[in-house]
Amino acid sequence: MVALADVITHGCNAVRYSVDKEKSEVVMVHCLPENITPSSMWDRMLILQQKYREKINRYNHLYKTAIRIEVSPAKEETENWTMADWQKLADDFIREFDAEVYLKNDGRKENGHTNLANSQYVVSLHRDSKGQILHLHINANRIDMEGNTNNSYMIRKRAMTAANKINEQRGWIQSMKKRDWNINEVTNACIDALKMMDSFDWNTYEAKLKAKGYGMNVKRSNDGKVVGYVVKKGNSFYKSTLLGHSRSLTPSRIKNTWVKLHQDKSVHTQTIAPKSMQTVSRPVVSVKMNTQQLRSQLPTRDEPLPIIEPEQKLPEMVHHEIEWNGRIHPVDIPIEADKALLDELGTMEVDLCATIVDAQKTAFLLFANYLDAATEIAESCGGGGSPESNWGRKDDEDDIEWARHCARQARQMHQRPIRRSRGM
Q: What is the pLDDT of residues 25-72, one digit of tens each?
A: 999 999 999 989 998 999 999 999 999 999 988 888 888 999 999 998
DSSP string across 305-373: PPP-PPPPPPPPEEEEEEEETTEEEEEEEEHHHHHHHHHHHTT--GGGGGGHHHHHHHHHHHHTT-HHH
Please, which pLDDT band fits residue 292 given cuts at 50, 70 and 90?
low
- pTM, two decimals, is 0.51
Domain end marker among 112, 144, 173? 173
**What mean pLDDT comes out for the span 293-305?**
54
Three-state secondary-structure class, residue 71? strand
Residue 309 has pLDDT above 60, yes or no: no
Average pLDDT across the chain, whole number:
81
Per the structure, the count of domains in the chain is: 3
Is 94 among the domain residues?
yes
Is 305 among the domain residues?
no
Residue ranges making up the domain that contains 209? 177-264
Domain end marker among 264, 281, 307? 264
DSSP string across 208-228: HHHHTT-EEEEEE-TTS-EEE
Is 269 among the domain residues?
no
27 lies in the same domain as 69: yes
Is 401 among the domain residues?
yes
